[in-house]
């Protein structure tokens, strides 16, 4: 009976050793992955939320200004063209092919 217990004890010690080794490898792999993620995140250029919001509001203001300038240009073009230019700018309808007049 003593020999069976000894064999069983040795087997349990070996399994415990393997389990400890596997757990250690897992912890080491996890730490290595965390370190790689830290390095990668450090190399990526992120913007803060405040910077993003500032650029977003500047873009909206630029779009509004662009629309104002477009309307001013259209008004100036209409003023320069006058009534004769307005007639030139409106395209005449083209006859449809195959239609007899």
Whether 30 and 57 map to the same domain: the answer is no
Residue recorded with tokens 């320069």 = 80
Whether 51 and 38 map to the same domain: the answer is no
Token duo for residue 13: 């010690």
Q: Which domain holds residue 55?
A: 47-88
Cα dihedral sign, 16-22-25-29:
negative
d(CA 42, CA 79): 57
Domain count, the chain: 2
Whether 33 and 56 map to the same domain: the answer is no
Whether 18 and 36 map to the same domain: the answer is yes
Name the pTM for this structure. 0.38
18-68 per-position pLDDT tens digit: 999 999 999 999 999 999 988 888 777 788 889 999 999 999 999 999 999
Does a structural domain hold residue 4?
no
């Amino acid at each position: 009976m003593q020999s069976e217990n000894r064999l069983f004890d040795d087997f349990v010690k070996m399994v415990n050793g393997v389990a400890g080794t596997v757990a250690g490898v897992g912890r080491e792999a996890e730490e290595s992955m965390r370190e790689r993620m830290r390095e990668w995140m450090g190399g990526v250029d992120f913007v803060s939320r405040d910077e993003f919001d500032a650029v977003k509001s500047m873009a909206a203001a630029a779009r509004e200004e662009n629309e104002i300038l477009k309307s001013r240009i259209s008004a100036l073009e209409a003023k320069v063209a006058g009534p004769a230019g307005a007639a030139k700018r409106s395209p005449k309808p083209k006859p449809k092919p195959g239609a007899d007049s």
